């Protein structure tokens, strides 16, 4: 089976640092290759894959700001679509734009919907409801207006995360510094529970950081900036818990699965997909308020870290994700 995996071109695939869609596109490609698939990855020229690599730009537009994002996206998507006849199936991890080609080519397209940036993009998905195939990354992140082939949870490379049963005594916030991700709430939880907090992530909203986070930084509440793969693994593994007090309906939550792979329980606001990722009182706590989260911090000793690891390994591995997609490929080709 010849499969084209279409990744975004904002960052390298897999990303050096940030780039969740690129990371999942990489995990899909490499997982399918391991199952015997003949995969061509359409990504940036500096991307890494065990399969074939096809590209129109050397680096992503977020890493080389001299490039125009829309121009790169246009050239990148059209590059694949003009070669569509060489493939049995196209796996689109690049949102809604590639769908506009779906009725112009014969090769079937599976699109993993990695979340909706806005409800305003749904009409594009609606238009192609019956001529292509949609996969959600959680049951919570579905539009009632769309037809779905399946839900396939994001899969991580388990060997990238080491189980640690002897954590340090700090809480961790890991993610974008933004209201949606609940950085300020994490600070409040740490202060009220009188625990140390490490904050790691890129500052996406400078005003929010200056107003809601920076004034509360102390020796006990530290902002350590962006963390690459090695630092991420260390931070997640040594944390006594990950705080994930989100203020939006998150489609998946990569750091949640990553933390549990390390054996670290997660305290999350019960929004979006969190109830699918976390087993309440077994691999973490689903809460609704800051005060409930503070209470959960006091109950962390009731969680067995090995249970967190085993749950995440069973549900959110690259191998499981690839196997699920492989079955979908066969299902689509049999239609």
**pLDDT score recorded for residue 33:** 97
Peptide bond into 145 cis (omega under 30): no
CA 45 – CA 237 distance, rounded (Å): 32
Q: Look up tokens 């140390």; give the residue.
A: 196
CA 200 – CA 198 distance, rounded (Å): 6
Could you say which DSSP state residue 18 is in? Answer: S
pLDDT in tens, 137-170: 999 999 999 999 999 999 999 998 999 999 999 9
Tokens of 57: 């730009």
| Phi (first) and psi of residue 244, to 5 degrees | -135, 65
Q: What is the pLDDT along the chain (335 residues), one digit of tens a residue?
A: 999 999 999 999 999 877 889 999 999 999 999 999 999 999 999 999 999 999 999 999 999 999 999 999 999 999 999 999 999 999 999 999 999 999 999 999 999 999 888 889 999 999 999 999 999 999 999 999 999 999 999 999 999 899 999 999 999 999 999 999 999 999 999 999 999 999 999 999 999 999 999 999 999 999 999 887 788 899 999 999 999 999 999 999 999 999 999 999 999 999 999 999 999 999 999 999 999 999 999 999 999 999 999 999 999 999 999 999 999 999 999 99
Q: For residue 321, what is the enclosing H or E element? A: helix 318-333
pTM over 0.75: yes
Cβ pair 232, 207 in contact under 8 A: no
Closest CA to 286 of 235, 255, 251, 244: 244
**pLDDT score recorded for residue 182:** 97
CA 223 – CA 218 distance, rounded (Å): 9
**pLDDT score recorded for residue 184:** 98
Domains identified in the chain and CATH numbers = 2-155+317-333 (3.40.50.2000), 158-315 (3.40.50.2000)
45: left (phi over 0), alpha (psi -120 to 50) or beta: alpha
Cβ pair 148, 136 in contact under 8 A: yes
Tokens of 35: 């199952």
Could you say which DSSP state residue 209 is in? Answer: I
**DSSP secondary structure, 57-105, as one string:** -SS-TTT-TTS-HHHHHHHHHHHHHTTGGG-SEEEE-STTGGGGGTTT-
**pLDDT score recorded for residue 214:** 97
CA 43 – CA 13 distance, rounded (Å): 6
User: How many CB atoms are located within 10 Å of the residue 9 CB?
Assistant: 28
SS (H, E, C) 101-119: HCCCCCCCEEEEECCCCCH
Q: Tell me the β-bridge partners of 3.
A: 39, 89
Integer angstrom CA distances of residue 144 from 15, 96, 122, 147: 32, 17, 10, 8
| Phi (first) and psi of residue 330, to 5 degrees | -65, -40
CA 211 – CA 178 distance, rounded (Å): 11
């Amino acid at each position: 089976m010849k499969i084209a995996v279409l990744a975004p071109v904002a960052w390298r695939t897999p990303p050096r640092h940030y780039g969740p869609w690129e990371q999942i596109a990489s995990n899909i490609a490499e997982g399918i290759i391991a199952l015997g698939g003949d995969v061509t990855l359409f990504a940036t020229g500096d991307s890494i894959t065990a399969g074939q690599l096809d590209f129109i730009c050397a680096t992503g537009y977020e890493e080389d700001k001299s490039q125009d994002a829309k121009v790169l996206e246009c050239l990148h998507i059209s590059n694949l679509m003009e070669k569509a006849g060489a493939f049995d199936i196209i796996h689109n991890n690049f949102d809604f734009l590639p769908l506009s080609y779906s009725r112009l080519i014969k090769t079937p397209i599976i699109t993993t919907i990695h979340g909706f940036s806005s409800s305003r993009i749904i009409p594009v998905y609606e238009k192609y409801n019956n001529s292509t195939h949609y996969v959600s990354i959680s049951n919570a992140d579905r539009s009632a207006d769309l037809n779905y082939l399946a839900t396939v949870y994001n899969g991580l490379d388990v060997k990238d995360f080491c189980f640690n049963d002897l954590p340090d005594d700090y809480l961790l916030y890991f993610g974008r510094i933004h209201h949606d991700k609940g950085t300020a709430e994490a600070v409040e939880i740490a202060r009220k529970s009188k625990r140390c907090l490490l904050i790691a992530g890129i500052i996406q909203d400078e005003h929010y950081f200056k107003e809601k986070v920076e004034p509360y930084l102390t020796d006990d509440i530290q902002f350590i900036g962006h963390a690459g793969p090695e630092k991420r693994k260390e931070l997640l593994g040594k944390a006594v818990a990950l705080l994930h007090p989100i203020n939006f309906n998150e489609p998946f939550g990569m750091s949640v699965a990553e933390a549990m792979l390390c054996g670290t329980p997660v305290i999350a606001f019960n929004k979006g997909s969190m109830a699918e990722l976390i087993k309440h009182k077994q691999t973490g706590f689903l809460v609704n308020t800051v005060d409930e989260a503070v209470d959960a911090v006091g109950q962390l000793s009731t969680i067995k870290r090995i249970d967190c690891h085993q749950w995440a390994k069973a549900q959110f591995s690259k191998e499981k994700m690839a196997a699920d997609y492989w079955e979908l490929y066969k299902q689509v080709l049999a239609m």
